[in-house]
Chain A
Amino acid sequence: MINRLISQGTHAFGPHLLSVSDLSREVLTGILDTAESFLEIGHQSVKKVPVLRGKTLVNLFYESSTRTRSSFEIAAKRLSADVINISTSQSSVTKGESLIDTVQTIEALGADGVVIRHPSSGAPAFVSTRVGCHVINGGDGCHQHPTQALLDLFTIRKKKGRIEGLTIAIIGDILHSRVARSNITTLSRMGARVRLVAPPTLLPRGIEDWPAEIFHRLEEGIEGCDVVMALRLQLERAAGGFIPSVAEYARLYGLNAALIERRAPGALVMHPGPVNRGVEISGGEEFTASSAILSQVEFGVSVRMAVLYLLMGGGSEEVVAGGMTPDKGGKE
Chain B
Amino acid sequence: MRGHEPGSLFLKNVRYFDPSEGVSGFGNVLIRQGRVESLGDIRPSGAIPELDGDGGLLCPGFVDLHAHFREPGYEYKETIETGSKAAVAGGFTTVCVMANTDPVNDNSEVTRAIRERALDVGLARVYPIGAVTRGLGGEQLTEMGRLSEAGCIAFSDDGKPVSTSRILRRALEYSRLFDRPVIDHCEDPELSGRGVMNEGSVSADLGLAGIPNASEEVCVARDLSVLEISGGRLHVAHLSTAGGIRMVREAKRRNLSVTAETCPHYFSLTDEAVRCHGTHAKMNPPLRREMDRLAVIEGLKDGTIDVIATDHAPHAPHEKEQEFDRAPFGIIGLETAFPLSLALVREGHLTLAELIYRLSFRPAALFNLPHGSLVPGGLADFVLLDLSEEWEAGRSGYYSKSRNSPFTGMRLTGRVLRTIVDGRVVFSGEGETRG
A112 located at the interface, meaning its Cβ lies under 8 Å from any Cβ of chain B in the complex: no
Chain B residue, CB-CB nearest to A99? B323
Contact of B206 among A98, A122, A209 (CB under 8 A): A122
B205, B207, B209, B278 — which one has the most chain A CB atoms within 10 A of its CB?
B207
Asked if A141 and B318 sit within 8 Å, CB to CB, the answer is: no
Assess whether B212 is in contact with A126, with CB atoms less than 8 Å apart: no
Q: How far is the CB of A170 from chain B (nearest CB, A)?
A: 15
Interface membership of B202, Cβ < 8 A: yes
Assign chain B's interface to a size class: 20 to 34
Knowing A204-B203, A204-B204, A206-B202, say if A120 contacts B326 (CB, 8 Å): yes
**Are B201 and A122 interface neighbours, CB within 8 A?**
no
Contacting residues, chain B, for A141 (C-beta < 8 A):
207-208, 325
CB of B157 closer than 8 Å to a CB of A? no
> Does A77 have its Cβ within 8 Å of any Cβ on chain B?
no
Chain B 313-351 per-residue mask, 1 if CB under 8 angstroms from chain A, else 0: 000001001111110000000000000000000000000
| B55 part of interface (Cβ distance < 8 Å) | no
Is the pair A120, B325 in contact by a Cβ cutoff of 8 Å?
yes
Contacts of B210 in A (CB 8 A): 204-206
- Within 8 Å by CB of A126, from B204, B209, B324, lies B324
Q: Which residues of A contact B212 (CB under 8 A)?
A: 205
The answer to whether B204 touches A118 (Cβ under 8 A) is no
Q: Which of B268-296 contact A (CB under 8 A)?
A: 278
- Is B199 in the interface zone, CB < 8 Å from A? yes
- A142 CB-CB contact with B under 8 Å: yes
Picked from A178, A205, A210, the residue with its CB within 8 Å of the CB of B207 is A178
Q: Please name 11 further chain A to chain B contacts, defined as beta carbons within 8 Å, in addition to the given A141-B208, A143-B206, sorted by A numbering.
A: A98-B318, A99-B322, A100-B322, A120-B323, A126-B324, A143-B208, A178-B207, A181-B207, A205-B200, A206-B199, A207-B204
> B199, B201, B204, B324 — which one has the most chain A CB atoms within 10 A of its CB?
B204
Chain B 173-230 residues near chain A, CB threshold 8 A: 199-210, 212
Q: Which of B86-136 contact A (CB under 8 A)?
A: none
Interface status of A144 (Cβ within 8 A of chain B): yes
Question: CB distance B200 to A126 under 8 Å?
Answer: no
A121 and B201 form a contact (CB under 8 A): no
Provide the bound-state CA to CA distance between A206 and B207, in Å. 11
A208 within 8 A of B: yes
Distance in angstroms between the alpha carbons of A126 and B325 in the assembled complex: 12
Chain B residues whose CB sits within 8 angstroms of the CB of A144 once the complex forms: 207
Rounded to whole angstroms, the CA-CA distance of A126 and B280 in the bound complex is 12
> In whole angstroms, what is the CA distance A204 to B197 when docked?
13
A140 to B207, CA, bound (A): 9
Complex: how many Å from CA A327 to CA B69? 63
In the complex, what residues of B have CB within 8 A of residue A140's CB?
207
The answer to whether A171 has its CB under 8 Å from any CB of chain B is no
| Contact in complex: A122, B322 (CB < 8 Å) | no
Nearest Cβ in chain B — how far from A172, in angstroms?
15
CB-defined contacts of B202 to chain A, threshold 8 Å:
206
A224 to chain B, nearest CB (A): 27
Residues on the A chain within 8 Å of B278, using CB: 122, 126
Q: What are 25 of the A-B contact pairs (CB < 8 Å)?
A: A98-B321, A99-B323, A100-B322, A121-B206, A121-B207, A121-B208, A122-B207, A122-B208, A123-B323, A123-B324, A140-B207, A141-B207, A141-B325, A142-B207, A143-B207, A178-B207, A181-B205, A204-B204, A205-B204, A206-B199, A206-B200, A206-B204, A206-B210, A207-B201, A210-B204
Q: Are the CB atoms of B323 and A122 closer together than 8 Å?
A: yes
Q: Which of A196-230 contact B (CB under 8 A)?
A: 204-210
Residues in chain B near residue A206, CB distance under 8 A:
199-204, 210
User: How far apart are A161's CB and chain B's nearest CB, in angstroms?
Assistant: 31
Residues of A within 8 A of B318 (CB): 98
Asked whether B321 lies within 8 Å of A100 as measured between CB atoms, the reply is yes
Given contacts A121-B206, A142-B208, A144-B207, contact A209 B201 (CB under 8 A): yes
A99 to B205, CA, bound (A): 23
Contacts of B325 in A (CB 8 A): 120-121, 141
Q: What 6 A-B pairs come out closest when comparing CB atoms?
A: A143-B207, A120-B323, A142-B207, A206-B201, A204-B204, A121-B207
Q: How far is the CA of A142 from the CA of B208 in the complex (A)?
A: 7
Q: Which of A147-171 contact B (CB under 8 A)?
A: none
Point out the residues of chain B lying under 8 angstroms from A123, CB to CB. 323-324
A208 and B201 contact, Cβ closer than 8 Å, known pairs A123-B323, A126-B324? yes
CB pair B324–A122 under 8 Å, yes or no, is yes
- Cβ contacts under 8 Å, B321 to chain A: 98, 100
In the assembled complex, the Cα of A142 lies from the Cα of B205 at a distance in Å of 9
**List of B residues within 8 angstroms of A209 by Cβ:** 201
Q: Considering only CB atoms, which chain A residue lies closest to B203 in the complex?
A: A206
Cβ-closest chain A residue relative to B198: A206
Q: How far is the CA of A140 from the CA of B326 in the complex (A)?
A: 14
Chain A, residue nearest B209 (CB) = A142
Q: Which residues of B contact A126 (CB under 8 A)?
A: 278, 323-324
The answer to whether A98 touches B322, judged by C-beta atoms less than 8 angstroms apart, is: yes
Q: Give Cα distance in the complex from A181 to B205, angstroms.
A: 7
| Chain B nearest CB, measured from A178 CB (Å) | 6
The minimal Cβ–Cβ distance linking A28 to chain B, given in whole angstroms, is 19
Chain A 75-108 interface residues, beta-carbon cutoff 8 Å to B: 98-100
In the bound complex, residues from chain A placing their C-beta under 8 Å from that of B206 are 121-122, 143
- Residues in chain B near residue A142, CB distance under 8 A: 207-209
In the bound complex, what is the Cα–Cα distance between A206 and B204 (angstroms)?
6
State the CA gap A45–B168 with chains docked (Å).
Answer: 74
Residues of A within 8 A of B201 (CB): 206-209
CB closest residue in chain A, given B199: A205
Which residue of chain B has its CB nearest to the CB of A129? B278
In the bound complex, how far is the Cα of B325 from the Cα of A209, in angstroms?
A: 24
Residues in chain A near residue B203, CB distance under 8 A:
204, 206
